[in-house]
Amino acid sequence: MIAATPSATYGAGRQYGPRRWPALDLARDPAVADRAQPDGRGEGLPSGSEVGGYRIERLLGRGGMGAVYEATQLSLQRRVALKVIAPRLSADEAFRARFRREARAAAAVEHPNLLPIHEAGELPEGALFIAMRLVDGGDLESRLRAIGPLGAGEALPLLGQLADALDGAHAAGLIHRDVKPANVLLEQRRGGVHAYLTDFGLVKDVESSTLGHTDTGQLLGTVDYMAPEQIAGEDYGAGVDVYAFGALAYRALTGSVPYRRDTVAATLVAHREAPIPVASERSPGLPPAFDRLVARAMAKDPDWRARSAGELMRELAEQLSAGAEEAVRPDESPTVADGPQSTARADASPQTTPTRAIESDGGKPSLIRQTVIYGAAFTPIWVVAYIIGRSL
């Protein structure tokens, strides 16, 4: 068992959000109710039935890989989330081998923000399953649909927990490949919300030579959060999770995905070619330091991306603590064509944000920066709480 100890640097696992989020029932929440409706992929397992040592209580939802049920593990009388893989996938030998390998890898990592896996195996009729901890609070995607974008004070501790989870997984040699709000489960606890990163069904070993596609050429991941190199089917590393982390942060802070396009193809092109979006343009009043986080995470070239999600959160905390933040203007957002000077390199100083060179009247390039100074007397209380949490 690999224990991925959470970093004490930026207080992951501590909650300082100012608002208590309402509890959402997955079976009744209209934002996700459609996922629990019959969809032509079979009736599923009826409530009350017993299979493979589990009693099915209710269907929680369906997805491309199968169905998730609330179930009771009979041997321990423990409530679990039972994910049953779709028959078409369970029958595929290549998928079965990958499923077993990745389930073992994910179960080997222990971290307070990675959803615990209790068991993985095969049901009597041949379907693959994975039993996980049951979290009653719903997922981040349904929360965002229900209550809209998060304020900076709510997003800060949540992003810190997810960054810690990703760093722990990467340290254990795993890449998630499908980081998105729907794979972030939320649990209300005393003092705040605890986040779990889940669904490592697309996880890959860092040392593997497998690209961003399955053996049959199927693209792995969710297009709204997919890194350019993952889209292109190139070899990649943990940077794809850093990119997705930035896209998730943008979604949480603005309520919108980074590149909202009419077609999947247009979305894929935008990830590779469109300027990096600026969160504060959609959420006025958002501290500009969050813009830098998104820009550093979503750099088109992985070599110019932040090395880890934890590094991004440490830089964010330093900027908020210092009281001086910089934001990239919309027309200065880095793009692939801009070259190395367009984005903040991983080893760049956290105090400066390289931007695209803008031609001045004299024809010479200049760097345009917008700096907002927050005096100590006006520092928001959530910033103070977060900085205190970092030192504990």
Residue 235 contacts by C-beta under 8 Å, 6 or more apart in sequence? Answer: 209, 211, 229
The per-residue pLDDT for range 275-296, each reduced to its tens digit, is 999 999 999 999 999 999 999 9
Which of the pair, 94 or 242, is modelled with greater confidence?
A: 242
What was the pLDDT predicted at 41? 41
Task: Note the pLDDT of residue 236.
Answer: 87
* Tokens matching residue 8: 């004490």
Q: Where are the beta strands (DSSP E) in 287-357?
A: 324-327
Tokens standing for residue 339: 């070259």
Q: Which amino acid is at 311?
A: E
Please give the average per-residue pLDDT across 12-36, as a whole number: 35
For residue 229, give Cα distances in angstroms to 284, 308, 314: 31, 16, 25
The burial class, CB within 10 Å (0-12 / 13-18 / 19+), for 20 is exposed
Q: What does the DSSP assignment read for 20-86?
A: PPPP--TTT-TTTGGGGS--SS---PPTT-EETTEEEEEEEEEETTEEEEEEEETTTTEEEEEEEE-
Residue 168 has pLDDT above 60, yes or no: yes
> Does the pLDDT value for residue 25 go beyond 70?
no
Q: How confident is the model at residue 389 (pLDDT cuts 50, 70, 90)?
A: low
Nearest residue to 321 via CA among 381, 253, 392, 384:
384
Structure-token match 């690209």, residue found: 211
Paired with 66 in beta bridges are: 63, 85
* Confidence band for 300, pLDDT divided at 50, 70 and 90: very high
Per residue in 348-383, pLDDT (tens digit) is 433 333 333 223 333 333 222 222 323 333 345 445
Contact 81, 69 (CB under 8 A): yes
**Residue 23 phi, psi dihedral angles, 5° rounding:** -70, 140
Specify the DSSP class assigned to residue 125.
Answer: T
Considering the chain, what is the average pLDDT of its residues?
Answer: 74
Structure tokens at 276: 């990096």
Contact between 20 and 188 under an 8 Å Cβ cutoff? The reply is yes
Strands (E), 163-257: 174-175, 184-189, 192-197, 204-205
**Start and end residues for every CATH 3.30.200.20 domain found in the chain:** 25-133
Q: Using CA of residue 218, residue 220, residue 226, residue 232, what is the dihedral sign?
A: negative
Rounded to 5°, the CA angle 150-317-173 comes to: 90
Amino acid sitting at position 119: E
What distance, in Å, lies between the first and last C-alpha atoms of the chain?
Answer: 27
Rounded to 5°, the CA angle 322-144-204 comes to 80
Candidates 303, 183, 196, 301; CA nearest to 248 is: 183
The class level of CATH for 25-133 reads alpha beta
> Kindly report the CA angle at 141 between 135 and 144, in degrees rounded to 5?
115
Residues carrying CATH 1.10.510.10, the chain = 140-391
Q: Percent of the chain at pLDDT above 90?
A: 46
Residue 222: closest CA among 280, 169, 176, 164: 176
The tokens 């009736």 sit on which residue? 43
Question: Tens digit of pLDDT for each residue in 116-152?
Answer: 999 989 988 889 999 999 998 889 999 999 999 999 9
State residue 385's pLDDT score. Answer: 53
Instruction: Report CA dihedral (127, 131, 136, 140) to the nearest 10 degrees.
Output: -80
Please give the Cα distance from 367 to 360 (Å, whole number). 10
Residue ranges with strand state E in 64-197: 66-73, 78-85, 109-110, 117-122, 128-133, 174-175, 184-189, 192-197
CATH code of the region 140-391: 1.10.510.10
Positions marked catalytic: 178
